[in-house]
Amino acid sequence: MPATLGKHDMANQGQEIGLAVIGCGPIGRIRSELARDYPGVGWLGICDIREDLATDLGQDTGANFVTTDAAELLARPEVNAAIIATQETAHVVPVMHALEHGHRLFIEKPLAVDVRDSEKIAQAIEAAGVDAVMGYTQRFRRRFLTVKERLTTGQIGNVTSVSARAMLNRKIAEMCLARANQHDTTTPVVISGTHVLDMCLWLLDGKKPVAVYAHSTDHIFGSAGSKDATFAIIELDDGGMLSLNHSWVAPLVWPGAVYGMQIGIIGEQGVIDIEDMHRDVVLASELPQGAGYKKGEADEAPRHVDFMGSIPFGEYAVGQFWGPVREETNAWFQRLYMGQDTPHTTAREGHQNLLLCMAIDLSAKRGEKLALPLETDDFYR
């Protein structure tokens, strides 16, 4: 179901958006450029701890205010909404600053990489009564929206099992580990597997996990304190089952530039099978192909075959950015400006996603089946 707006948010309908963007990396840049072009955004402020990134993006978007101090930007009287696009381990402080001022929030996943921090944010959001959603971009792709509609209207009956497989080029793992200061929680499931997990739970529409058993491997990233791949079996409260396996160690020359997944959904009266490995449009060239994760970026590995469209959030073409992040970001602006319900992941759903991801990693670490939900302290024993 769509993430429903409250009375406070409906009262803001038609109010000009004063937007603060905290974090000027690739995703922060894309969302800022989209904000510049959205007519309901009347004021734009940019912030990054790296002054060069903030200055460049501020100039490129014609921002009204540029700073390296998130608290300063979020305290500006013009601001009434914020995008938190910092690295995964640095969400807590800017989110809490934004909540002090009652700003509506868009937070890149995850809420945090620590259970207590995530719980702190989720509780603070609910206490503040603000509308807060998260960046789970896959929900804004046409194929998954169509599948969601078919499941909601009962086209295959009650779903009894889901199997999901996701695979990433290891470039993403190397980027995440290079910038993280908590490698034990910077794992394939927490950082990227959360996307396929969110998708499966969204499609399962309210079915609750009650137990999990998982196993991980660490041949490549074990020396960095992380994992290579994790397989999990999740039992659901209605007797159904979710099987999830995720790896982020495909070699740099793997043609899928970023993300590929397959999901099989079995219902009592039908089946939906989703092939999302991006093999439908293949480029092969004597010239090396870039990953396309950053604008104008060249790959360090000689990739000569590319599964086009495998960057899940979209790509630059003919001078603009196109793809699911465009749909997701503009839908959020519509949510703020027009009061429309949207399929965004709520902050509470994002917190539940993190708890399940952490439980999967904990089961793999202990080598045992875990009953869910866990108590917060269980994650630290």
Q: Which helix (H) or strand (E) holds 125?
A: helix 115-128
pLDDT of residue 296: 46
Using DSSP's 3-state secondary structure scheme, residue 47 falls into strand
* Domain identity same for 273 and 171: yes
Cβ atoms 35, 336 nearer than 8 A: no
Q: How far is the C-alpha of 121 from the C-alpha of 351, rounded, in Å?
A: 9
d(CA 27, CA 25): 6
Cα 342 from chain centre: 16
Q: Which residues contact 142 (CB under 8 A, 6 or more apart)?
A: none
Q: Is residue 359 part of a domain?
A: no
Same domain, 151 and 292: yes
Q: What is the 3-state secondary structure (H, E, C) of 135-188?
A: ECHHHHCHHHHHHHHHHHCCCCCCEEEEEEEEEEECHHHHHHHHHCCCCCCCCH
| Residue 246 located in a structural domain | yes
Mutual angle of helices 142-152 and 194-204, in 10-degree steps: 30
Q: Are strands 259-267 and 345-346 parallel, antiparallel or unpaired?
A: unpaired
Name the stretches of the chain with pLDDT < 70. 1-13, 290-301
Q: For residue 312, say if its preceding peptide bond is cis, omega within 30 degrees of 0.
A: no
Q: Rg (Cα) of the chain, in Å, rounded?
A: 20
Q: Do 169 and 302 share a domain, yes or no?
A: yes
Same domain? 35 vs 180? no
Q: Is residue 59 part of a domain?
A: yes
Q: Look at residue 362 and tell me if it is in a domain.
A: no
Residues 299 and 177 in one domain: yes
Count the Cβ atoms, other than its own, within 10 Å of residue 368.
10
Spatial contact of 47 and 69, defined as CB atoms under 8 Å apart: yes
Q: How wide is the angle at C-alpha 337 spanned by C-alphas 333 and 342, nearest 5°? A: 55
65/116 same-domain check: yes
Bridge partner residues of 321 (DSSP): 316
Beta-ladder partners of 263: 164, 274
Q: 């099992």: which residue's tokens?
A: 161
Say how far apart CA 306 and CA 257 lie, in whole Å.
7
Regarding whether 175 and 61 lie in a shared domain, the answer is no
* Domain coverage including residue 302: 142-311
Which DSSP category does 192 fall into?
I
Partners of 284 in the β-ladder = 305
**Residue 20: C-alpha distances to residues 82, 235, 243 (Å):** 5, 41, 39
Same domain, 177 and 292: yes
Same domain, yes or no, for 146 and 259? yes
**Any idea what the CATH number is for the domain that residue 66 is in?**
3.40.50.720
Domain annotation covers residue 129: yes
If asked whether residues 124 and 218 sit together in one domain, one would say no
Residues 314/321, Cβ–Cβ less than 8 Å? yes
Tell whether 84 and 204 lie within a shared domain: no
For residue 159, the domain's CATH number is 3.30.360.10
Tell me what pLDDT residue 252 has.
87
357 domain residue, yes or no: no
Count of structural domains, the chain? 2
User: Looking at the domain assignment, is residue 323 inside a domain?
Assistant: no
Share of the chain above pLDDT 70, in %: 93
Q: Of 91, 56, 52, 88, give the one whose Cα is nearest residue 70.
A: 91
Say if residue 304 is in the same domain as residue 169.
Answer: yes
**Residue 373 domain flag:** no
Helix (H, G, I), strand (E, B) or coil at 114: coil
For residues 342 and 131, the answer to whether their CB atoms sit within 8 Å is no
Mapped onto helix, strand or coil, the DSSP state of residue 117 is helix
- Sheet architecture: strand order including 65-67: 65-67, 41-47, 17-22, 81-84, 104-108, 132-135, 345-346
Do residues 306 and 289 lie in contact, with contact meaning Cβ atoms separated by under 8 Å?
yes
Assign 212 to helix, strand or coil.
strand
Residue type, 329: T
